Structure 1
């Protein structure tokens, strides 16, 4: 990775003969994110890497090849961006992973950090846009104020509040010339489906509104994908759900016209502008895989951008027309590639050992066909099997490299990942299906796949592990309580455990999401919260359960986990709890390895498995 790691090269080269087991080496292998580049200085880039053992921000001058570490904090830093001229690196400074803090900035070439927006108190971030003329838009969220957007004009001094609402909202984008501001908001009260408002930066007056939640029986979401990168251009690229999936359109906010692209691609479609505004880089996600296309705006032609089979987790079009993208598959570790050929950014040191590919399984569930991804260890089944449940819930597992599932396969477990109702990538109806019976619907789909896994001979029914983090951790605790006969072990990381207490303590934006999912607050719909809370079913839990939790977590706060653990203790249930000094997960590699090692050891202990490598 160049100059930033020259002092570490000998250390990293020594790890080429690292005797540690493969599963640990996957976590330790140096990785990089897709580099972001400054719009007016494309040779200046910013990326995230774990080269020091903690995920931090790095600057890369492509012209000179020089790279340097920008941030260095005990709990890591991943939230950062470049100013359009490449002069400044912005990064968000929270406290030990609590996600509550302020924006800082540092000169691209190095130097002291300074507050980026003096006059704004700490908050949860809700979007950021930096204009070419120095105009700033800063989105904030606090429990006291709800959502606010603040404008800082060049040379004007103090930030000016231009938007405020109790419901979730944030910065969408700032036009190329800085004259227009796009805001995403949920003033209608549905935190899962945003509406859009465009304001003039000169006086914050409203230019245009786009709200697909009105006038129909179903609420549809919109998303800001970015203003056209052309001076004086009022076209805004927008994601919409009007035909039951995510797809892009072009909204000219000044003319009031909408251009529907109608791309003939199944699944969800996102897009970003090519730098000259002549085309769109299309990211097409379908059935747990993704691919890239170029859409020509003038002709409507759609041209495939060749990528290997697997998943593109992020992509960007460069000024020369090439496309850089971060690619991986379940079997092959991630790499930053370019359509020009070759690897864009290759960290030094040992590469992550490969894993095994995934198999696609489709199972008939109570709400329709459920897609699952299966990885098998060597040998003949039935195997002890881990159901690794993704978070979100509006997310999905894909054919992408993941060190956690690979570790289980190394230890002789089959791994099954289920894209339950609530997952993205299978249409709006599938994503929106979990309302009101939250958690219970997802578990119905997981249980259908569990029945298939046992009947097919893949899984040993006496050695089934339910595991997950965040929403996956929540579903784990809910599952071992509502389906106690099905699961032999539960492994829950940063979970929702007591839904009412979680609602009381979590950040305001998540309260809005919970009100959307459950149809109101705990005071308004107490029966729904009770039905969806793992705490309600804690006395039915039979499986030994291991819980890991960040003590600074603003999403799944520690008090509600302690409430659940106290109930386990009171009835003498078999359990272990690991608390660590971070937020909603850790950015420290050795901490991640420790947590996976604890899970592996706990499962082996209670399933009678073989020894766990340490």
Structure 2
């Protein structure tokens, strides 16, 4: 009996899928968490909501994917050896803009291609396919179906003639205009307006301090700028510009930082999504935490949205501007609400307990959100109850839930998140203190493959939201100044004391680990607390603070001046007190360091300086350098790095 061709193809596909699953299932659980495909929350075009972009690691490298929801078609947009994660759509959904740097150095240009596929004949056919991430320097996680990939390097520059730079925001308009933010060591921050038919982009803003594109109004008439001209990189002010011909006019200013003893921050959350509407949604800190307000940039009137919710509150417009989508973060977890602007009614949207890592309101009133918990891997859900975008192939294994711990610290109560192996008993256990980066960031009840791997290997994992972390009020975040690094380590030490005193942690088997700022705190902690830690694992760290300052990207120089109180030449003693290099002689624990050779945030020269001192002093250490920037977007590389860390701990922990 002849079998129809469709059945033959179906059987072959099923056999292939079963073979893939068999190979995948044979891997250890920790490796499967990295290899399982992930998808980011889709971004959709404002005027063409069926056209979306998302980030996925389906091919083993994080890249941009286009998704035509109406047709059900998906294709890979970018295809670069070290991955791509930064892209956006024009409002009409016709064009994809993506940022092209060199091997993760974050210095480059915007390119574009049509949503439907390659623009030029030599760029590939863009075909159809099957069916985005914030990791800190190798300590992040590894998202999706492959398609006929466009040869991304052949995409034309979106703004020909605009020199490469670090990106400082991008806003795309409905008439073909664009506002491009750029940052360079030579020019500071510049913003350029690109207009259809104009030969060259018009420079509309320039300042030595850090700034960025806030938004472009619905009709393209108003441009929002987040800036720190007052010199405090932690607290932005807002300016609204209007361009008429080549004349640039300031329409409105909102500044909660200048002239205050305790500066407050503002952030543009977007103009109202309606023609001719001058209102802007703004995040402010006037009551000691992040909250939203609506600012009429034409009249100056402000409407603060006061909600009876503890913790930080941020918001975005619903597409018809009748309501706000509220994202509420409190004690390392988050939830969603709808706020009616006319009545002030606040209604909770159903989301599981855990962390919402992004949410977007659709034109039909539903909300899509990316959710996970420490136990359950991420999924893109809708308030309709549907899974919006499923990652293809085998799924990541679950991990163990997180426990909350509250510890009295020298600056107040410190919140820590603890995961312990399910079958390890009460302890004492070997522990990894996994320290988050930022520093203005925080750990949450969300899925992370790195910590889950340590749990699989019998370690308890403790994550500390030290002073400087976000999510616990402005005073907690702003406490970091002048004694940078040392303040965070006081809080980590308090949690360490609790972990040992409670019987959870074996004091002879404590590993201090982290990436980026967490890597910096690891090296600083090993030097200033030499008897507290058995081993250290530092990924893409600040190691020599002075050299790091001189080599890092300009926006981070501004942040360091704010945190430390000036440049290394102005306050040398503060930089020396906060630099791991100052304490390298007292280092007692073996240390493993990994570093991206193209990293603009924690540059390689300052790490090499630190390693040279380790070698001179005969300290036990290993260094692994890899060809990427501030962490890798290649899954295989992330797995390799964790394997090296696991091996280092196995060899050096008694």
State TM-score, norm by structure 2: 0.91
Q: Is the 8 A contact 1:12 1:350 kept in 2?
A: no
Q: Is the 8 A contact 2:230 2:258 kept in 1?
A: no
**Is 1:47 aligned to 2:54, yes or no?**
yes
Q: Is the 8 A contact 1:178 1:201 kept in 2?
A: no
**Is 1:142 aligned to 2:184, yes or no?**
yes
Deviation (angstroms), 1:119 = 1.8
Deviation digits for residues 289-344 of structure 1 (CA, Å, limit 9, x no counterpart): 00000111111111101100000000000000000000000000000000111200
**Is 1:397 aligned to 2:443, yes or no?**
yes
Deviation (angstroms), 1:13 = 4.5
Deviation (angstroms), 1:154 = 2.0
Deviation (angstroms), 1:111 = 0.4
Counterpart of 1:570 in structure 2 is 616
Counterpart of 1:198 in structure 2 is 240
Counterpart of 2:34 in structure 1 is 27
Of stretches 266-275 and 9-18 in structure 1, the one that deviates more from structure 2 is 9-18
Counterpart of 1:519 in structure 2 is 565
Deviation (angstroms), 1:157 = 2.7
Distance 1:26 1:12 in 2: 18
Counterpart of 1:612 in structure 2 is none
**Is 1:65 aligned to 2:72, yes or no?**
yes
Matches within 5 A, 1:463-612: 463-608=509-654
Query: For the structure 1 residues 12 and 531, does the alpha-carbon distance in structure 2 shift closer, same or farther, using more than 3 Å as the test?
Result: farther
**Is 1:304 aligned to 2:348, yes or no?**
yes
**Is 1:326 aligned to 2:331, yes or no?**
no
**Equivalent of 1:14 in 13, 19, 38:** 19
Deviation (angstroms), 1:11 = 5.7
SS in 2 for 1:184: strand
The 4+ residue runs of structure 1 with deviation greater than 6 A are: 6-10
Q: Is the 8 A contact 2:272 2:317 kept in 1?
A: yes
Distance 2:450 2:601 in 1: 22
Counterpart of 2:290 in structure 1 is 246
SS in 2 for 1:114: coil
Q: Is the 8 A contact 2:111 2:158 kept in 1?
A: yes
Q: Is the 8 A contact 1:196 1:222 kept in 2?
A: yes
Distance 2:162 2:16 in 1: 42
Deviation digits for residues 64-107 of structure 1 (CA, Å, limit 9, x no counterpart): 10000000000000000011000011100000000000000011
Query: For the structure 1 residues 445 and 250, does the alpha-carbon distance in structure 2 shift closer, same or farther, using more than 3 Å as the test?
Result: same
Distance 2:346 2:217 in 1: 26
Q: Is the 8 A contact 1:98 1:582 kept in 2?
A: yes
* Aligned pairs, number: 603
**Is 1:77 aligned to 2:75, yes or no?**
no
* CA-atom RMSD in angstroms: 1.2
Structure 1 segments unaligned to the other structure (5+ residues): 1-5, 609-614
Counterpart of 2:136 in structure 1 is none
Deviation (angstroms), 1:14 = 2.6
Distance 2:64 2:230 in 1: 37
Distance 1:127 1:117 in 2: 14
Distance 2:640 2:166 in 1: 29
Deviation digits for residues 368-411 of structure 1 (CA, Å, limit 9, x no counterpart): 00000000012221100000000000000000000000000000
Distance 2:369 2:243 in 1: 33
Distance 2:257 2:385 in 1: 44
Structure 2 segments unaligned to the other structure (5+ residues): 1-9, 120-154
Deviation (angstroms), 1:9 = 8.4
Distance 2:547 2:195 in 1: 41
SS in 1 for 2:19: helix
Distance 2:597 2:195 in 1: 38
Query: For the structure 1 residues 11 and 227, does the alpha-carbon distance in structure 2 shift closer, same or farther, using more than 3 Å as the test?
Result: farther
**Is 1:180 aligned to 2:222, yes or no?**
yes
Counterpart of 1:363 in structure 2 is 407
Distance 2:305 2:313 in 1: 11
Distance 1:477 1:435 in 2: 19
Q: Is the 8 A contact 1:46 1:81 kept in 2?
A: yes
Deviation (angstroms), 1:37 = 0.4
SS in 2 for 1:31: coil
Query: For the structure 1 residues 367 and 9, does the alpha-carbon distance in structure 2 shift closer, same or farther, using more than 3 Å as the test?
Result: farther
Deviation digits for residues 416-457 of structure 1 (CA, Å, limit 9, x no counterpart): 000000000000000000100000000000000000000001
Matches within 5 A, 1:86-125: 86-112=93-119, 113-125=155-167
Deviation digits for residues 197-232 of structure 1 (CA, Å, limit 9, x no counterpart): 001132320001000013432100000000000000
State TM-score, norm by structure 1: 0.97
**Equivalent of 1:166 in 208, 213, 218:** 208
Query: For the structure 1 residues 318 and 601, does the alpha-carbon distance in structure 2 shift closer, same or farther, using more than 3 Å as the test?
Result: same
